[in-house]
């Protein structure tokens, strides 16, 4: 496999949230007060871990546990992982986690008074294919309250973790759903300054991903940081 070692291009202004976001209260004591140190990108930053399905087994259907169907609206999520130059990112690992249809995580820390579903755990792992496409089946997550401010509710969302091809491409984010009225009120979503960047976190309904008699389909694409154009090295 070719290992790319060209450095990543700078982050586009306004496209990433600032850690100092007072409307999201938990940031208060957790954001660094000093500006980050800009460092040159060495092999430590330009390369990254590789995950193979034989060691990190895929879980591509979150809607079934022990052959029993979870409660809620079954959906299919499909999309493509590319870089900023629109080159597909093949065979990259994608981790997924989310609340159940009632807005409850199968997690001891979640004390929301909504029922757990014995047939829904809410975590998955898939790999993009040779052209960067990924797909999984799940249950549409419910909204849930949190204690950030009075009457605060998180919009429906699915959490994602992607690794890409280098440490500098690592990204953890959330996918939202079109038409969700809670987006307008959500300080985590609005922490991203640029409106277009924000709206790219909203999936789109897609009739071509929708499976007849089975599940609605949503499209959600990822863009990982691009690299400066320099020759690649044999890895």
Partner 1 sequence: MLVATSHQTIGPYWHLIEDPAWSNLLRFGAEGDRIVLTGTVTDGGGELVTDAAIEIWQTSPAASDGFPAFGRCQTDATGSFRFTTLKPGPVAGLGNAQQAPHVAISIFARGLLTSLTTRLYFQDEPLNESDPVLSLIEDPARRATLIARKVSDDAWHLDIRLQGENETVFMEI
Q: Which of residues 54-83 bind partner 1 (CB under 8 A)?
A: 55, 82-83
Number of residues that bind partner 1 (CB under 8 A): 77
Contact criterion met (CB below 8 Å) for 16 and 192: yes
Token couple for 46: 């330009």
Burial class (CB in 10 A: 0-12, 13-18, 19+), 93: buried
Residues 195-234 that bind partner 1 (CB under 8 A): 196-198, 200-201, 222-226
Give the active site residue among 144, 160, 189, 218.
144
Binding string, 125-164, against partner 1, x = CB under 8 A? x---------------------------------x-x---
Interaction between residue 111 and partner 1 (CB under 8 A): no
- CA-wise closest residue to 134 among 71, 30, 68, 60: 60
Residue (44 or 211) nearer to partner 1, CB = 44
In terms of CB distance, is 18 or 211 closer to partner 1? 18
Using CB under 8 A as the binding rule, whether residue 101 contacts partner 1 is answered as no
157 carries an active-site annotation:
yes
Q: Is 144 a known active-site residue?
A: yes
In the set 114, 116, 127, 174, which binds partner 1 (CB under 8 A)? 174
In whole angstroms, what separates CA 83 from the centre of its chain? 15
Closest distance between partner 1 and the C-beta of residue 191, in Å? 5
Would you call 154 a catalytic residue per the annotation? yes
* CB 207, min distance to partner 1, A: 24
Residue of 50, 60, 103, 182 that binds partner 1 (CB under 8 A): 50
Of 72, 163, 164, nearest in space to 122 by CA: 72
DSSP state of 209: T
CB atoms within 10 A of CB 31: 13
Indicate the residue among 185 and 197 with the shorter CB distance to partner 1.
Answer: 197
Rounded to an integer, what distance in angstroms lies between the CA atom of residue 128 and that of residue 119?
26
**Site residues (CB under 8 A) for partner 1, limited to 175-194:** 188-189, 191-192
DSSP string, 121-169: --EEEEE--TTSEEEEEEEPPPPEEESSSTTEEEPSEEEEEE-TTSGGG
The total of other beta-carbon atoms located within 10 Å of residue 97's CB is 18
* Residue 205 CB, nearest approach to partner 1 (Å): 19
Respond yes or no: is residue 160 known to be catalytic.
no
Return the active site residues. 105, 144, 154, 157, 159
């Amino acid at each position: 496999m070719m290992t790319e070692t060209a450095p990543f291009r700078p982050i586009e202004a306004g496209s990433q949230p600032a850690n100092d976001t007072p409307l999201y209260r938990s940031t208060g004591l957790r954001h660094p007060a000093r500006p980050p140190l800009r460092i040159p990108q060495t092999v430590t930053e330009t390369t990254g871990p590789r995950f193979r399905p034989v060691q990190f087994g895929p879980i591509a259907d979150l809607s079934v546990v022990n052959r029993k169907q979870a409660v809620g609206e079954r959906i299919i999520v499909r999309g493509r992982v590319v870089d900023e130059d629109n080159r597909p990112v093949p065979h990259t690992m994608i981790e997924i986690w989310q609340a159940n249809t009632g807005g409850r995580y199968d997690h001891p820390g979640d004390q929301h008074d909504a029922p757990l579903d014995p047939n829904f755990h809410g975590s998955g792992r898939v790999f993009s294919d040779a052209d960067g496409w990924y797909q999984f089946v799940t249950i549409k997550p419910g909204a849930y309250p949190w204690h950030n401010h009075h009457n605060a509710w998180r919009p429906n969302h699915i959490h994602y973790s992607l690794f890409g091809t280098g440490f500098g491409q690592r990204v953890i984010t959330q996918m939202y759903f079109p038409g969700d009225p809670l987006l307008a009120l959500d300080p985590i979503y609005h922490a991203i300054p640029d409106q277009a960047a924000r709206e790219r976190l909203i999936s789109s309904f897609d009739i071509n991903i929708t499976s007849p008699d089975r599940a609605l389909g949503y499209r959600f694409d990822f863009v990982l940081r691009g690299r400066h154009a320099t020759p690649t090295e044999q890895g």
